[in-house]
Amino acid sequence: MKISMNNTLMESLGMEVVKATPSEVTLSMPVDKRTHQPMGFLHGGASAALAESAASIGAFLNIDSDKQQVFGIEINANHVKSVRGGKVYGKATPLHLGKTTMVWEIAITDEEDNLISASRCTIGVVALKNS
């Protein structure tokens, strides 16, 4: 499945899909002026956006998109290391794949595989309304 980032937050932040399967999603994101906070480090909000994006794509790959849609319900992030440049990678793996909720764990690492941020994201699975 080709995932389009066109006209999305993900496109604005420069995210790219590295891997996308129902059991693992990895996205990359540059650390540059689009994702910096004022002091020149990776913004925690950009890390959270990367984490939720990876979890949401993973959740979407686990549903019947003709009958269901997914939405982020909750996300938390522990930022453990700072980074000023290069790329970071958000790798999402499922902890729970339920009928109405999913829980994904996301590790954000730098190019040397150092942990930058650890997140957990809860995704809601919602039936599409008949229109």
CATH of the domain at 109: 3.10.129.10
In a domain, 4, yes or no: no
What is the domain count for the chain?
1
Closest among 21, 36, 31, 45 to 104, alpha carbons compared? 21
Cβ-based neighbour number of residue 7 at 10 Å: 8
Instruction: Tell me, yes or no, whether 115 lies in a domain.
Output: yes
Residue 79, in any domain of the structure: yes
Residue 49 maps to a domain: yes
d(CA 53, CA 93): 12
Any domain includes 101: yes
* Active site positions, annotated: 52
Q: What is the model's pLDDT at position 4?
A: 84
pLDDT at 16: 96
Is 1 domain-assigned?
no
Domain presence at residue 3: no
Q: Which residues of the chain have pLDDT under 50?
A: none
Contact 118, 107 (CB under 8 A): yes
Whole-number pLDDT of residue 50 = 98
Q: What is the pLDDT of residue 131?
A: 56
Q: What pLDDT is stored for residue 1 in this prediction? A: 57
What residues make up the domain containing 107? 9-127
In a domain, 122, yes or no: yes
